[in-house]
A and B are shown apart, each in its own frame.
Chain A
Amino acid sequence: MNRKKDKGFESPRPFKLTHQVVCINNINFQRKSVIGFVELTIFPTVVNLNRIKLNSKQCRIYRVRVNDLEAPFIYNDPTLEVCHHESKQRNLNYFSSAYTAAVSAVDPDAGHGELVIKVPSELWKQGDEMNVLKVYIEFSLDQPKGGLHFVVPDVEGSMAERGAHVFSFGYQNSTRFWFPCVDSYSELCTWKLEFTVDASMVAVSCGDLVETVYTHDMRKKTFHYVLPIPTAASNISLSVGPFEILVDPYMHEVTHFCLPQLLPLLKHSMSYLHEIFEFYEEILTCRYPYSCFKTVFVDEAYVQVSSYASMSIFSTNLLHSAMIIDQTPLTRQCLAQALAQQFFGCFISRMSWADEWVLKGISGYIYGLYLKKTFGVNQYRHWIKEELDKMVEYELKMGGLPVGSNGHLTCPTPHLHFSIKHPHTLSWKYYKMFQCKAHLVMRLIENRISMEFMLQVFNKLLSLASTASSQKYQSHMWSQMLVSTHSFLKSISNVSGKDIGPLIKQWVDQSAVVKFFGSFAFNRKRNVLELEIRQDYTSSGTQKYVGPIKVTVQELDGSFNHTLQIEENSLKHDIPCHSKSRRNKKKKIPLMNGEEVDMDLSAMDADSPLLWIRIDPDMSILRKVEFEQADFMWQYQLRYERDVVAQEESILALEKFPTPASRLALTDILEQDQCFYKVRQGACFCLAKIANSMMSTWTGPPAMKSLFTRMFCCKSCPNIVKTNTFISFQSYFLQKTMPVAMAQLRDIQNLCPKDVLNFILDLIKYNDNRKNKFSDNYYRAELIDALTNSLTPAISISNEVRTVDNLNGDVRLILEEITRSLNMEKLLPSYRNTITVSCLRAIRMLQKNGHIPSDPSLFKSYAEYGHFVDVRVAALEAVVDYTRVDRSSVELQWLLNMVQNDPAHYIRHKILSMLGKNPPFTKAAESPLCNEALVDQLWKLMNSGTSHDWRLRCDAVNLYYTLFGLTRPSCLPLPELGLVLNLKEKKAVLNPTIKPEQGPDTTEMTGITMGGLITMETVSSVSMSSGVAPPPQGLKRKLDSVVGPLGSSSPEPGQVLQEEDTSKKFKIRVRISSAEDEIDMESPHDSQAFIHHHLNILERPSTPGKEPPAVDQAVLSLPVTPLPSSFGKESTSSSKHSGDHHHHHHHHEHKKKKKKKHKHKHKHKHESKDKERDSHAFSNSPASGRSVRSPSMSD
């Protein structure tokens, strides 16, 4: 990457883009096609600019003109099919490297692209004068699979009446999917966008709408947008549909768009957007950078929120009416995220992928500030804790998550099954955690330099950018709008005078988190607290922490902060205590926040003044803390510590102390209505767990029952719940949670107590929402969840079929409720069909516990396209679960079919990620599902089936990894040759390491002579078959004959070969791991080209001057042995291969002059070859039982 630390940004391209016109003059909803052109204005930065590389995927390009001269072009997309030539390799390491290579080959950040345009020679001279070039490209898109998503409901009426709409989407830089551009976040230019759409539609895009003009026939109109602020193509978007328009009543330059009939919801949902605007503008002391802002709500959205320059596209499912409680904060949060990304992400763009963390970090950080202001400090701290826990868990599981610049380049990540060098090769989960870590790191920086300085830095970045944005291109200021890790750090040190280098090094460049174990003892004589803090830095995903750590000790006399220094070898820290242990009952105990409270100190250890201890209370280290203290200390902490994080920690710890005292502490918290509602919710579940552990000694009614009765039931008749009002949201959330937690209670038979079940059934029965101004759909859904929680496995005598007659009485009642609720949903659907979702989950649980027959057909019908997305996901989750439990290959096929064919991208993604989370089998276990066909299918899916969607491809890779691991799937028959040839860089040719397959009868084999020999042979085989298929028969023969005599002189390798020969498990595997080498980027290339390129390099030393020796040898070896007729055919076909290849090489050499046509020819040939090889492989597979190659034959 051409990034020099001090000189700012340097473009990797030999030209600079200044302006781009995108004109889409036809959008056909019926055919789902788009026709248009783009015109890029570029300044060459080199003399003799003869080639221009642009990004374009799936567009059909009709013509390219440069300054009105027709220009030849080559269009080649190596990511369409990652591994060419149906290889039998099937191992993920191989795929990942090939995929990374393919993505790198067209990476705009490295100056590459899929579309290579040859500048007409007439214009070459002009390069000297640095004249402007105008590149005009006509293109069309037909039924795009990615980039643009058409939603066309299948109903009567015109497209507008049907609510048909189209919008752009994608993960990271994906604009190339819908128009040719330089799809990089670092290539900024100004824009003119024109969209001609049906007169009944609105086209919403980036920038200012200058005018709307009818076409001559008055049936269409053209929307003219101008975006004067330099913007990256990746931040350009479009949505077209019959939108209803709402001008924000508070800010007239903000316009909201939604689908027909949803206007009332839009009005309500958008009614607080202005507050978010005000908040950000105030803290950043900077106006919103664009002159307008548009929000568009679309159906079948790819992600909930996606931000583009001056507009954001949201899922329509975020809209809600005033009656909905639960969705309100979620929608507000989504809006706040979108707006934060407008400042950092859209307006300020990034220099390279390695700087992404800065943008995500800042936008996440200011979003956090918004959370703090709007939802309160408790919510904020709860969120930070949640994010930290999530991130730490992921890192410990995956073993490290580097986010920063150097981390990308230096940190080796062999533990990951994907490359992190490109956004497009990342697992989606990783990307989510990446964002999470980014904002947590920002918070650490804030802790270090103070919020004031932090905001000053942001302000500085923004004001630099806005100054730059108003400049002309010629001023070379635009790169100020790009942020890099370096420039960010520089502003921080300028503003704060602090060097946060070490911090960045530790958390950004380095992956891994810190794992602390703490324990303590109180030394009464010295009145000293002896704290021991150990670290685990050996297990994966952990690192060693050295530096300060804050410890807070609550004593009788007050709360004291201590900063300890964690050093290399010091584990123990002595902390002097301020108070003597004593019992002054009258005195109040001061807390951290200055509050003074009365406590019942009888539970305390009489000798110690310590109430509780907290390690790193402010979460200023990315860590996991396991701290040991006595149960009464946790109880005090829960009751009296005011920090929600501390309360949640103590709730978690109390699970291990099922005592009446813990019970009391939890109950008290539950009743305390000043306590944060999420803490109280947590206390419910903890209480249920404790009650289960205390089963034998538990006295009184089931846990929480009397509490619930007191809080939510009528005074006069305690068995009936009050009619709903939901005025107090805290009580509402508690009322929702308590029954769910109660249903987790179990009696001695491990059943849900009858009391509890009846109680829940009564809650459902007496639920009355008539006088409530809020909807009770979430509450009712949670009551169904409670019923689900109460289910326990059915007692079955034998494996009998479940029938209605032998249904358990309680289960019958539950099933009645579920049936009725599910049926009522059809008549009166609830918001987001929450109740259907809960019912489906409940039915699956009934099936799983053996109460009703296990059957996926119900779920399959709910999973069909045409149901609300939440319902589909719930149904699919059930099918996925069924697939695992019943090991059903039919359902697995059905799911995979849906992954390939479903119209909704989100659903496809969701299926794969759910399969990954709840896999039908794993690499560790045997399963009848694990077979060759499945391997082929998944391989095909990730190799070529998902080329239109980066996220989906990575999901498929993830699933493949979960199912089969990094190496060759165990269910595949062992390959033909047991030799693994690892061509690592050029050295490997001279001294290659030959690794055996994991076959049972292969042994380690090394030897320079052998290696050299085999290398020669295999290289030639590679040139014949691209190195990954079972080698042609002729070669195999040759190998044998060569090895034969050698075997006597060096018995070890020879023997091995012999063994393998008889067992017929051979395969040559070539791993090209030096794909990042400098490659001839001038030529259009693909993986094929890579391999050839490398082979050319490889071959030179071994067989100089003679290119295809293997052919000769193979052909020559033929007459030596009499062969069956089929054998002869194969070898002729193989020689044909090599002939082709020879030809191919030839092509490669002269490729520069070839055009698209040739490319096609190539592909055609590959295909035919694939077919041949397939038949070949079949006849040679060990299963076929034909002993063509048995020693007796060759004799």
Chain B
Amino acid sequence: MFVLQRSGGGKATSSPAENYQLARRRTLQVVVSSLLTECGFESAEKAAVESLTEMIQSYISEVGRCAKAYCEHTARITPTLSDTVVTLIEMGFNVNTLPVYAKRSQRMVITAPPVTNAPVIPKALIAGQKRTHPSHIPSHFPEFPDPHTYIKTPTFREPVSDYQVVREKAASQRRDVERALTRFMAKTGETQSLFKDDITAFPLIAARPSSIPYLSALLPSELELQTLEETDSSEQDDQTDSENTPGNNLNDDPGADKENSMLPPGGVVPSVKASEENMIDNPYLRPVKKPKVRRKK
């Protein structure tokens, strides 16, 4: 097969595949030139020769392609003469004229193209053993495709169960995450530094006053609450008395919780609610009275 290449006569290119193609093309050029001489031309412009070469190359390529197509159509892998003949006929060429033309007297003999190494087809990745046919398959049948197309490569490794390593990993992972995170925060925000000469060395996220500092200092963070829930749920299996786990106080006991959270901030209890809560008589839960209507102050 020809690979069309319009490198414009690239000179220094020296890969084997290119050399091979250049040699062929040069032969074709010689062919064209000799045909022109045959026809009586004494000289030709380079561009014209080039065009003709291109045409002839296309023609030959097309013949080759079609012949291969015919051959594959009949489930063969190597084209036979008849494939070529059919092709030529198909392309509108009178095959019968060919022998005469071939034997014409003024034909010029052209030297065979210089032998160059056929281009090496890069080898596919070899993965695993190539499998041979099993005995019940005749040897002429095509070979198995490359193993990489069908074998599976295990990406799973045996889990490390060594306690020490696990702890080590967990610790260093956490540390790396923390360091990366804090460095990121430090990079993206304001920082304070402990050194004057190198303010990037140990960057500290700048202290920022908050308007209600006690909230963040007293309330457990979400992360802590989460772990608390997790430890609780894991413990509940062996602890039937859920009252004893202190974390539950935060989440359970919904009755009391709601009753208070439903209070408007001022401690005003909706009258409906108040009647339900008659049990608890606390002055702060009582409804707020309406002012006495006074005519005159």
Contacts and interface: CB of A to CB of B under 8 A. Distances in A.
B210 interface: yes
A822 B194 CA distance: 13
A245 to B, nearest CB: 5
A208 B284 CA distance: 10
A200 interface: yes
A216 interface: yes
Contacts of A249: 256
Contacts of A765: 171-172, 175
B35 interface: no
Contact of B197 (A208, A803, A820): A803
Nearest to A221: B288
Contacts of A717: 163-164, 167
A160 B267 CA distance: 12
A794 interface: no
A1035 interface: no
Contacts of B197: 801, 803-805
B228 A773 contact: yes
A68 interface: no
B289 A214 contact: yes
Contact of A823 (B164, B182, B196): B182
Contacts of B198: 803-804
B249 to A, nearest CB: 6
A153 B179 CA distance: 33
B282 to A, nearest CB: 5
Interface string B79-113: 00000000000000000000000000000000000
B202 A268 contact: no
A1123 B20 CA distance: 124
Q: Taking each of A215, A221, A242, A323, which has the highest tally of chain B beta carbons within 10 Å of its own beta carbon?
A: A323
Contacts of B263: 244-245
Contact of B164 (A255, A261, A323, A720): A720
A1176 B227 CA distance: 72
A802 B202 CA distance: 14
B221 to A, nearest CB: 5
A824 B182 contact: yes
B159 interface: no
A717 B201 CA distance: 34
B282 A858 contact: no
Nearest to B196: A853
B143 interface: no
A261 B219 contact: yes
A1110 interface: no
B261 A263 contact: yes
A208 B281 CA distance: 13
A213 to B, nearest CB: 5
Interface string A240-263: 001111110100110100011111
Contacts of A862: 207
A831 B167 contact: no
Contacts of A1052: none
A252 B266 contact: no
Interface string B240-278: 000001110110000011001101111100000000000
Contacts of B205: 822-823, 826
Interface in A815-874: 815-816, 819-820, 822-824, 826-829, 831-833, 843, 846, 852-853, 855, 857-858, 861-862, 864-870
A768 B227 CA distance: 12
Contacts of A870: 217
A815 B249 contact: no
Interface residues of B, number: 75
Contacts of A857: 192
Given A215-B291, A773-B246, A861-B192, A823 B211 contact: no
Interface in B196-232: 196-198, 201-207, 209-221, 223-224, 227-228, 230-232
Contacts of B172: 765
A855 B195 CA distance: 9
A445 interface: no
Contacts of A714: 163-164, 167
Nearest to A246: B260
Contacts of B224: 323, 775
B145 interface: no
A858 B220 contact: no
Contacts of A861: 192, 206-207
Chain A contact patch, size range: 35 or more
B47 interface: no
B137 interface: no
Nearest to A163: B212
B68 interface: no
A267 interface: yes
B290 A323 contact: no
A322 B291 contact: no
Contacts of A155: 211-212
A200 B266 contact: yes
B285 interface: yes
A527 interface: no
A858 B167 contact: no
A201 B196 CA distance: 49
Binding site of A, secondary structure by majority: helix, strand, loop or mixed?
loop
Q: Taking each of B171, B203, B257, B290, which has the highest tally of chain A beta carbons within 10 Å of its own beta carbon?
A: B171
B182 A827 contact: yes
Given A153-B212, A155-B212, A214 B290 contact: yes
Interface string A958-975: 000000000000000000
Interface stretch (A312-320, A334-342, A511-519): A312-320
Contacts of B210: 866-867
B185 A823 contact: yes
Given A317-B218, A832-B217, A867 B209 contact: yes
Nearest to B167: A720
Nearest to B294: A216
A209 interface: yes
Nearest to A201: B266
Given A153-B212, A252-B282, A717-B164, A773 B223 contact: no
A249 B186 CA distance: 47
A471 B186 CA distance: 68
Given A209-B284, A768-B171, A852-B195, A265 B261 contact: no
A770 interface: yes
Contacts of B227: 769-772
A212 interface: yes
A1045 interface: no
Contact of B216 (A210, A213, A829): A829
B283 interface: yes
B171 A323 contact: no
A214 B265 contact: no
A271 interface: yes
B77 interface: no
Given A247-B285, A820-B179, A261 B266 contact: no
Q: Taking each of B178, B211, B213, B285, which has the highest tally of chain A beta carbons within 10 Å of its own beta carbon?
A: B213
Contacts of B283: 208-212, 292
Interface of A: 153-155, 160, 162-163, 199-202, 208-216, 218, 221, 242-247, 249, 252-253, 255, 259-265, 267-268, 271, 292, 299, 316-317, 319-323, 714, 716-717, 720, 765-766, 768-773, 775, 801-805, 815-816, 819-820, 822-824, 826-829, 831-833, 843, 846, 852-853, 855, 857-858, 861-862, 864-870
Interface of B: 163-164, 167-168, 170-172, 175, 178-179, 181-182, 185-186, 192, 194-198, 201-207, 209-221, 223-224, 227-228, 230-232, 234-235, 245-247, 249-250, 256-257, 260-261, 263-267, 280-286, 288-292
27 contacts: A153-B212, A154-B211, A212-B283, A214-B291, A247-B284, A263-B260, A268-B249, A292-B283, A322-B249, A766-B171, A768-B171, A769-B227, A773-B228, A773-B245, A773-B247, A801-B196, A804-B197, A804-B202, A815-B202, A816-B202, A819-B182, A820-B175, A822-B205, A826-B185, A826-B205, A853-B196, A868-B217
5 nearest CB pairs, A to B: A866-B209, A322-B246, A823-B182, A209-B283, A717-B164
